[in-house]
Amino acid sequence: MATELQTRYVFTITARIAEVTSAGDIGAGVRRIVPIVGGEVRGETVNGKVLPFGADFQIIRPSELIELEAKYAFETDDGAVVYVENKGIRFGPVELLEKLKRGEPVDPKLIYFRTVPRFETGAEKYRWLMEHIFIASAARHADRVVIDVHQVL
Q: Is the separation of the CB atoms in 112 and 97 below 8 Å?
A: no
- The backbone torsions φ and ψ at residue 129, rounded to the nearest 5 degrees and listed phi first, read -65, -25
Q: Given pLDDT bands bounded at 50, 70 and 90, which one contains residue 102? A: confident
Q: What is the pLDDT of residue 142?
A: 85
Q: How far apart are CA 132 and CA 8, in angstroms?
A: 11
Which backbone phi and psi does 111 adopt, to 5 degrees? -120, 130
pLDDT score at 41 = 98
Containing H/E element for 96?
Answer: helix 94-101
The answer to whether the beta carbons of residues 85 and 71 sit under 8 Å apart is yes
Please give the model's pTM, rounded to 2 decimal places.
Answer: 0.93
pLDDT in tens, 24-42: 999 999 999 999 999 999 9
